[in-house]
Chains A and B, each alone.
Chain A
Amino acid sequence: MTPSLDAYVLLSSALFAVGFLGVLVRRNTLVIFMCLELMLVAATLALVAFSRFNGTGDGDVFVFFILTVAAAEVAVGLAIIVALFRTRQTIQVDRIDSLRR
């Protein structure tokens, strides 16, 4: 008896929601970025589950692409955060409010 597709979809949506909550609630740019990665992984889990239950391997191939894009995104994002820290001496989103004024 294997878990049903519903269980996987519920789990992946719960993971996505937790990551979304983190993006909205946390003020540290690095933690927000980690929560973004969490959301990507949740989407990946849903893709693999759908692919398996559909009986094709296409979803798995898309997961390859997602992983590649995530790796590139992390590299660029962290470089931006480091550049931000160099100019502003902070990475708290509350203090990065030039556009608000």
Chain B
Amino acid sequence: MEHLAFNCLSVFALACALGVVLSKNAVNGAMCLLLCLAAVAGLFVELHAYLLAFILVLVYAGAVVALFLFIVMLLDMQGGQPWHFRGVQAVAGLVAAALLIAGLDLIAIRGRLGAGPASPGDVGSSLELYAYPLFTTYLLPVEVIGFLLLVAMLGVIVLSRRAGEPGESK
């Protein structure tokens, strides 16, 4: 049963990922990205990471894809610049992706991942599992991440201002 769900979700995720790469229209690409993220969230649920599935849908599907769609509409690239695979670039991309996947799978197979436990350990899925490490072991990273968000916010404000606008210190 879980195998069936895993197979369906993984095929769906891969198909949608290919849709992101192959779609001519950037809006269609963003929609494919949304579906792919939903499939990955389903895989998270299957791994018993319910909170992460929820956050993935909330942050990625809710905020990131909406932002992408907003920018695509803002820059208005509908129909413009149809793309085509250029010979050398397409071949190089395909070869590089094939080499990457071959190398990673070689590591996965030679690394004897199967030597570990055959099924996911039952670590529970309570909030405490996330909250306790966040406030003890990973307290410093949490603070650094908060600072990073602040810096990113300031950076976006500075970037989105036109040079020479009123308020620009000169």
- Note whether A and B form a binding pair: yes
Q: Mark B40-60, 1 if CB is under 8 A from A, else 0.
A: 100110111101100110011
Q: Tell me if A6 and B108 are in contact (CB < 8 A).
A: yes
Q: CB < 8 Å: which of A22, A58, A63 contacts B21?
A: A22
B89 contacts which chain A residues (CB < 8 A)? 24-25
Asked, given contacts A30-B77, A45-B40, A52-B121, whether A10 binds B108 with beta carbons under 8 Å apart, the answer is yes
B56: A residues at CB distance < 8 A: 41, 44, 67
* Minimum Cβ distance to chain A for residue B163 (Å): 10
Residues of B contacting A: mostly: helix
In this complex, what residue of A is CB-closest to B112?
A6
Interface centre among A10, A21, A75, A81 (most CB of B within 10 A): A21
Size class of the A contact interface (CB-based, 8 Å):
35 or more
Is B170 positioned at the interface, with any CB of A under 8 Å from its CB?
Answer: no
- Please state if B149 and A38 are interface contacts (CB–CB under 8 Å): no
Name B44's closest neighbour in chain A (CB-CB): A48
**Contacting residues, chain A, for B71 (C-beta < 8 A):** 30, 78, 81-82
Contact A61–B134 (Cβ < 8 Å): yes
Q: How far is the CA of A26 from the CA of B108 in the complex (A)?
A: 28
* Interface presence of A96 (CB below 8 A): no
Q: Is the CB of B77 within 8 A of A56?
A: no
| CB-contact partner of A25 in B68, B85, B121, B133, under 8 A | B85
Say yes or no: A41-B36 contact (C-beta < 8 A), given A21-B97, A72-B149: yes
Per-residue CB proximity of A67-97 to B under 8 Å, as 1/0?
1111111111011111101100001100000
* Beyond A53-B120, A55-B117, 7 additional pairs, beta carbon < 8 A: A11-B43, A15-B36, A18-B18, A30-B77, A34-B30, A58-B133, A75-B152
Which of A's residues lie within 8 Å of B, judged by CB?
1-11, 13-22, 24-28, 30-31, 33-35, 37-38, 41, 44-45, 48-49, 51-58, 60-61, 63-65, 67-76, 78-83, 85-86, 91-92
